[in-house]
Amino acid sequence: MKRRRRWRPVLALGAGISLLLSALVATGTPASAAVQCQVDYAKNDWGSGFTANITIHNLGDAVNGWTLRYSYAGNQRLQNGWNGTWSQSGQNVTVSNAAWNGNLPTGATATTSANFSYSGTNSDPTNFSINNVACNGANAAPTVTITSPTAGQHFPVGSNVTVNANASDDGNVARVEFFRNGMLAGTDTSAPYSFTHTSLPSGNYTLQARAVDDLGAAATAEVAIVVDAGPTLVVSPAAVSVPEGGNQSFSVSLSAQPTANVSVSTSRTAGDADISVSAGGTRTFTTSNWNTPQTVTLAAAQDADQSSGQATITVSATGYPSVVVTVTEEDDDAPEASSYIEEFTAQYNKLKAPGNGYFSPEGIPYHSVETLLVEAPDHGHETTSEAFSFWLWLEAQHGRISGDWAPFNQAWTTMETFIIPSSAGQPGGQSTYNPNDPADYAPEFNQPSQYPSPLDANIAAGQDPLAGELQQTYGNRLMYQMHWLLDVDDVYGYGTGRTGAECGDNTQRVTYINTYQRGPQESVWETVPHPSCETGRFGQSGSGYPPIFVQGSGANQWRYTSAPDADARAVQAAYWALRWATEQGNQSQISATVTKAAKLGDFLRYAMYDKYFKNPGCASPTCTPGSGKSSSNYLLSWYAAWGGDINNAWSWRIGSSHNHGGYQNPVAAWALSPSGPAALRPQSPSAATDWQQSLTRQVQFYKWLQSAEGAIAGGATNSWDGAYAARPAGAPQFFGMSYDVDPVYHDPPSNQWFGFQAWGMERLAELFFLVPSQTMAKTVLDKWVNWAISQTTLGSGSSFQIPNEMDWSGAPAASFNNNTGTPADNPGLHVTVRTRTTDVGVAAAFARTLTYYAAATPDTALGQQARETAKGLLDRLLLLKESRGITTPETRTDYNRFDDVWSSSNQQGLYIPPGFSGRMPNGDQINSNSTFISIRSFLRDDPDWPKVQSYLDGGSAPSFTYHRFWAQSDIAMALADYGSLFPDD
């Protein structure tokens, strides 16, 4: 039976060997022809044992049944194996195919794995045979060695380290790939092979060179080096404004006393040529004056243009990491810049400053600077597609202010590298995906304790109408969406120690993981973090983590899940980047990135579809499945997901049946529709029309969900209880989907957070600003803005209060099913603000909503009130500035759930099914006695843990000051929006 899952996958690399076998024939049959095949052997070694992962590639004639034989040279002893029948006699190992993986057509692969124990040396085997036909010594694996640097070599912080490698092969070496801590950093296709890792921060590094020949065989060499923490250049300030025709200075000194004179050089390395170093281009520091600041003077030449240029000034010295100073020319012909624009630049520079900790060494934005943080991600140094989308938007605003579009392009490239799965990360490219049978049905349940869920292949799913069109447009079946969650620092360890690629992943650090899997009641405190690429290395031996979630499931599968609001936000950011770059005449600089954004929008349409492609109004798992586009609701649902078997025996795709008001993005829909710019139009024939319909449907959804007071209620679902259950009698419906006050999750309720209000209405306000003829949008905004301002208090100094948690009663007045009509008002649907907050990120999003509404309605009393309230919020936020951003402390009473034990009486705590027993990569046990902290014991080593432990021991609830990337970015963008739309303030 095909197994399909609604989950998400992982990436990784390590050292491995590839061998070409001379023959692969049916069991017991002598070789009648030399049939070429390839075997990849890789191991994950933890010192006293290891996992051997062996992949057979059939490069010749079809094979029906195989037996693999090889031997070890040491005392390796078989413990258990899977995806084949394993046995061992002395040092000789035999593996026969399983019932389902014995048939290998030309080009097919079979993967089999086993755990072994050992002591002493653990050398890789080399004497493989298939079906009693020995390898004839035609070893196609290339050889590769690293000639420099040497093992254990030390370098000063900020060094450029060049790796030189020698590689050879019986055939041809196609390329040598260079990795840093498992992350692909560069490729060289011709000898001599080398790559330079630039400006390395302090830390321990494993540098790898992987040679790949023209048949795909590969070998890896690696060397460990140390970049020592060392002295640095002290430069202040990091951002300087220079008046046109004038001068401005900054200071340079050293952080520690040198042993000899240090010469510090300063020069312009990029940007406006009118900005130059006029004095102090070289400064010398001695053992006595090293900590005395010396001045570097910058000049901005007088010119005739009316724009304020920007340049990058680099301060450098041998043995020290370079420091970049951002310099802005204050053009005397241009209108005076708004102080809010200057504050945007200051906040942007804080976010981008390496010492502030917002980005990983790979350049990935963390969810937060702090590591001990539990909310949607369960660790601060994970990251989400949400963070990437805010980063793109931040860089678009930077381009708007500075005219510098390189960071925007780089942000998309980083996003594409790390969080949009590559072709190698989607094994088989979903070539086995059947759009007429997209996925096997597994019901959702209201409690985690009702899992694992049973699969039912007899429930018919509807037709996927997008797969064929997308394949025809882009030439393959690969998906182009962001997966929602990355373990950037590999704190869980799903990447650490890999010696062979799994699911095409080439990193040992940045890994795809997932958490939520078990219905609406599963809060973050009740999740089990697991790898998106499941090979059974961890979790329960041989089957990994899937048995916690789905009955009868096991290892050797991959799965990704997108968060449609993040993908849509990325498209929204690309639209504004295109608009602002075009106004500057710089649109050609971002044209390639905009094309990629259009592609992302093309695939984002999967979020419009019911989970199993069922028609609207489905009230039974056996309801009529959809055909064509009948199962599209044209809204942005909670997720879309795709995956398959690692060996490409099966693959699947699903949408989601649940739709939340806070996830809609009418700006993205408008930009991708025929009304938007042609450069952002998706290439698929029906995509623009789909987005035109989605634009209307989303605005109607807001209106249908608007309470009598003005706030937007929860959403609607096409699958009641997640299992297409019978609908509640009399529940109002939106195009066949039933009203749901808390769609998707209940702990906490999904629509109690005011942040969803601010995010959703900000997008609607942008749409109204762009398209004043959107009268329905204006109607919704007029009511919402009036309500939100009435619930806001602006106090003295930095004090303010905005809504936080809300309660709901009633329902929409009537069902609605009119493609061109306007939903009625809802006098019986009500909201009450239960608590208020000083959350800086939500306050910024709220200010942006008010700013765009005010810019669209400048001559109305409510528009003026919105402008004054937006300014009032921003002015108070600016009084909360500190060295890394704008923050307020927050008390975390929910941190009492770290050690909750599952209880059947209140359905709280971490539930693990009886009979499941396994381990996390660090050895933490997973069983029915586990808690949130027991399977994350590494958190006890976090510097902030003592505050939590004191709370668990009966002390007061701990207080934290968090620097969330999305929140700090939204603050910066609120300043840019207000300063740009109201420059006279």
**Cβ atoms within 10 Å of 458's Cβ, excluding its own:** 9
Q: Is 342 an annotated catalytic residue?
A: no
Residue 874's closest CA among 768, 802, 966? 802
Q: Are 732 and 687 a contacting pair, CB within 8 Å?
A: no
Q: Which two tokens stand for residue 847?
A: 């200010």
**Cβ atoms within 10 Å of 639's Cβ, excluding its own:** 23
d(Cα 45, Cα 499) in Å, to the nearest integer?
Answer: 8
Hey, what amino acid is at 654? I
Burial of 150 (0-12, 13-18, 19+ CB in 10 A): exposed
Q: Is 565 an annotated catalytic residue?
A: yes
Q: 250 in helix, strand or coil?
A: strand
Distances (CA, A) of 874 to 842, 851, 881, 973: 12, 11, 11, 11
Q: 852 in helix, strand or coil?
A: helix
Hey, what amino acid is at 390? F
Burial of 163 (0-12, 13-18, 19+ CB in 10 A): buried
d(Cα 693, Cα 633) in Å, to the nearest integer?
Answer: 10
Q: Which helix (H) or strand (E) holds 697?
A: helix 687-705
Could you tell me the end-to-end alpha-carbon distance of the chain, in angstroms, rounded to an integer? Answer: 66
Q: 344 in helix, strand or coil?
A: helix
DSSP classification of residue 678: G
Distances (CA, A) of 174 to 141, 171, 193, 643: 12, 9, 11, 30
Cis peptide before 192 (omega within 30 of 0): yes
Q: 229 in helix, strand or coil?
A: coil
Compute, in degrees rounded to 10, the torsion defined by CA atoms 535, 537, 539, 542: 70
Sheet holding 511-514, edge to edge: 382-384, 485-487, 511-514, 530-531
Burial of 292 (0-12, 13-18, 19+ CB in 10 A): exposed
DSSP classification of residue 552: T
Q: 860 in helix, strand or coil?
A: coil
Catalytic residue among 177, 382, 386, 437: 386
DSSP classification of residue 604: G
Hey, what amino acid is at 395? E
d(Cα 533, Cα 557) in Å, to the nearest integer?
Answer: 6
Q: 383 in helix, strand or coil?
A: strand
Catalytic residue among 378, 404, 565, 977: 565
Task: Give residues with Cβ within 8 angstroms of 344, minimum separation 6.
Answer: 397, 401, 972, 973, 975, 976, 979
Task: Give residues with Cβ within 8 angstroms of 861, minimum separation 6.
Answer: none
Q: Rounded to the nearest 5°, which phi and psi values hold at 583?
A: -60, -30
Q: Rounded to the nearest 5°, which phi and psi values hold at 106?
A: -55, 130
What is the full DSSP assignment across 12-42? ----EEEEEES----TT---SS---EEEEEE
Hey, what amino acid is at 283? R
d(Cα 649, Cα 195) in Å, to the nearest integer?
Answer: 38
Q: Pairing mode, if any, of strands 239-243 and 320-330?
A: parallel
DSSP classification of residue 201: P
Q: Which helix (H) or strand (E) holds 433?
A: none
H helices of 706-805, where?
A: 754-770, 775-790
Hey, what amino acid is at 754? F
Q: Rounded to the nearest 5°, which phi and psi values hold at 793?
A: -120, 125
* Catalytic residue IDs: 386, 565
